[in-house]
Amino acid sequence: MVIREELRRCRFWRLVLAETLGTFMLVTVVLGSSCLGLRVSRSDSLLPALAAGFTVVSLVQCFGEISGAQLNPAITSALVCARKLDLLHGMAFAVAQCVGATCASALFYVCMPESVCNQLVTRVSSEGNAGQALAMEVFATFQLAFTIFAVDDRRRRDLTEPGSLAIGFSVTAGALTAGQVSGGSMNPARSLGPALVTGIWEHHWASLKQNKFLLTLVRMHWRKKLVN
């Protein structure tokens, strides 16, 4: 009954729409900057990293007070495991984020040549292997989640600057660190969208494993906290 009542509320769907639109905008900017980066250098991750960081700062300011501007199923899942978000909203947000990312990818698939779209799929770099890519994705996503949890800590009194800046810097840092090896996605929705549209699933498991590893760390932390 509680779930049915929640699904009937306009506020619930407003939150879902915010996550869909926010993720659509984020992935659109990331893919667009990646297209430009390919023209400069096939190994250049600076443009997508800066674009992603700037966009996250903007979107957190725009949607932060509405849905929290999570824009990332990995972060949403971590918040659910940490009991900062209920399961219903977490599942709805994750689906909304994947839908937004897929719509953004479909937009590029329609507007850009197929050869360019195929380059936007998250892949393991030829300079590394799948294990190295997974390790870099885990680290990049962990430092992003760590930053978000630190910014969201209500007990801190030293936070005077907007939290969106720290989160944006963390996204850029993670993308620059992992970009040369794994693509620096840190976002299963960003990886899922292009893969779903192009049908290229090579090494997509690395993104899913990275999400699972992050959830395991969060669960271990909260189990220890509940025991103590």
pTM: 0.83
> What's the CATH number where 192 sits?
1.20.1080.10
Give the torsion sign (CA, 200, 202, 206, 209): positive
pLDDT for the residue numbered 87: 87
Q: Tens digits of per-residue pLDDT, 57-112?
A: 999 999 988 988 899 999 998 898 888 888 889 999 999 999 999 999 999 888 88
**Other beta carbons within 10 Å of 227:** 6
pLDDT for the residue numbered 38: 58
CA of 220: how far to CAs of 153, 214, 216, in Å? Answer: 19, 10, 6
Q: Tens digits of per-residue pLDDT, 145-180?
A: 999 988 887 666 666 667 889 999 999 999 998 888
pLDDT for the residue numbered 185: 83
CA dihedral 49, 59, 64, 184 (to 10 degrees): -20
For residue 163, give every residue at least 6 positions away whose Cβ sits within 8 Å of its Cβ, in sequence order, or none: 60, 64, 151, 152
pLDDT for the residue numbered 210: 54
Give the torsion sign (CA, 219, 93, 66, 173): positive
DSSP 109-163: HHHS-HHHHHHTS----TTS-HHHHHHHHHHHHHHHHHHHHHHT-TT-----S-H
Quick check: 148 and 75 in contact, CB under 8 A? Answer: yes
Cα distance from N-terminal residue to C-terminal residue, the chain: 34
Average the pLDDT over each of 147-156, 198-207, 208-217 and give the range with the smallest value: 208-217
Q: Closest Cα to residue 102, out of 76, 75, 73?
A: 73
Task: Look up the domain containing 185 and give its range.
Answer: 2-227
> What average pLDDT does the segment 124-136 reach?
77
Domain count across the chain: 1
pLDDT for the residue numbered 217: 52
Interatomic CA distance for residues 123 and 215, integer angstroms? 22
